[in-house]
A and B are shown apart, each in its own frame.
Chain A
Amino acid sequence: MRVIIMGCGRRGAALATMLDGEGHDVTVIDVDAAAFSFLPDSFAGTEIVGSGTDEDSLRRAGIEQADAFVSTTRGDNRNVMAAQMAKHIFNVARVITLVHDPIREEMYRSLGFRTVSPTRIIAESLREAILADDGGEATGAAAEAQTGSEG
């Protein structure tokens, strides 16, 4: 699958690495070239310096041939704007966007977008960890929470 990932922070880079390892054709786009240092040396995909909310940069990233587009930056507004461009201008079949603000997330979901809310996922994981009666050590939830705050 040809996938474009907007935002090469920890989260975007982790996703890119995963998909690349599975043999997908991955392109990562980020305004900051330094962000690509999050990618491992083994990364075989394409790195594009540019803004995911700029039509020309998206074209350079090959969005016209992409099967999927994922926006993963920290900025909700940038994420949803890029996602809407991918869907409405470039007709990408699968568009997924991170939205941190739960209210905006709900709204864009109701507008037909596939959204992922890090806030909700982390809160739910933390709640599960607190209510679990095994008194366990740092589980997946805590680890996830940390990734989330830095991504």
Chain B
Amino acid sequence: MYIIIVGGGKIGYFLARQLLEDQHEVLIVEQAADKAAQIAEDLGEIVMVGDGCEASTMERAGMARADMAIALTGDDADNLVVCQVAKHKFSVPFTIAMINNPKNERIFKMLGINATISSTSVILAHIEQELPSHPLIPLLTLKGGGLEIVELKIPPESQVVGKPIKQVLLPQKSLITLIIGADGQVRLPTSDTVIQVGDEVVAVTMLDSEESLRSALIGAPSVRAF
């Protein structure tokens, strides 16, 4: 495959090295001449100095025959445009963009970038896996009464799994008002409604009963809450 990498930072460098080892044809487009020279010294003449967002640079790089374009600069707008120009102007079949601001994942996907990589999201996902805590998500605080509406997802280890609501000992002035199933189905609970794993329970509670509600629905207090 012919793969063009825009951005000769550390990720671009190591990626190119690996791809070369795997017998791919690789070209790195890097704006800074000194960085480009350093890569060329290590990896050979696989670097081109230029602005990878410019269509003229892409043309010189042979973007039209590239199988894949990978944008790895530190600027999301640049990465987006590299992929869009590669795709729309040079008909590159597969484009990959690095995303610096995880919030941009949605717009990149909407605009047809084939794959996005967000290191922030990857790290966050690992943290969430490593530190299972089941916090109550406060949805709304009702003015005046000291009440709030909270949401909580039922984990597999919860002692209320499989039990009808009437058997769950809720703190005073707490009420389960809505259950959203793992399948997205919304249920209006009665006292006979059975709680299942993955249910998202929406409840009204007193501000100071939050913790007792949490332990009523989940059990032992979370060891390592954030």
Contacts and interface: CB of A to CB of B under 8 A. Distances in A.
B76 A111 contact: no
B76 A81 contact: yes
A101 interface: yes
10 contacts: A53-B104, A77-B53, A80-B77, A81-B81, A81-B107, A101-B55, A107-B85, A107-B88, A107-B89, A111-B88
Interface stretch (A20-28, A82-90, A120-128): A82-90
A103 B51 CA distance: 14
Contacts of B89: 103, 107
Given A54-B103, A101-B55, A78 B111 contact: no
Given A81-B76, A107-B89, 17 more contacts: A53-B77, A76-B81, A77-B75, A77-B80, A77-B81, A80-B80, A80-B84, A81-B81, A82-B77, A85-B107, A89-B106, A101-B55, A103-B56, A104-B81, A107-B85, A107-B88, A111-B88
B76 A53 contact: yes
**Interface range on chain B (Cβ under 8 Å from partner):** 20 to 34
Nearest to B82: A77
A75 B56 CA distance: 17
Given A76-B81, A101-B55, A89 B76 contact: no
A144 B111 CA distance: 34
Nearest to A111: B88
A77 B77 contact: yes
Contacts of B85: 104, 107
A96 B65 CA distance: 32
Interface residues of A, number: 21
Interface string A55-72: 110000000000000000
3 tightest Cβ-Cβ pairs between the two chains A and B: A103-B55, A77-B77, A81-B77
Nearest to B106: A89
A77 B106 CA distance: 17
Interface in B122-158: none
Nearest to B103: A55
B77 A78 contact: yes
B107 A89 contact: yes
Contacts of B53: 76-77, 104
Contacts of B119: none
Contact of A88 (B75, B103, B111): B111
B54 interface: yes
Contact of A77 (B78, B104, B110): B78
Contacts of A101: 54-55
A31 to B, nearest CB: 12
Contacts of B75: 77
A55 B101 CA distance: 10
Nearest to A102: B55
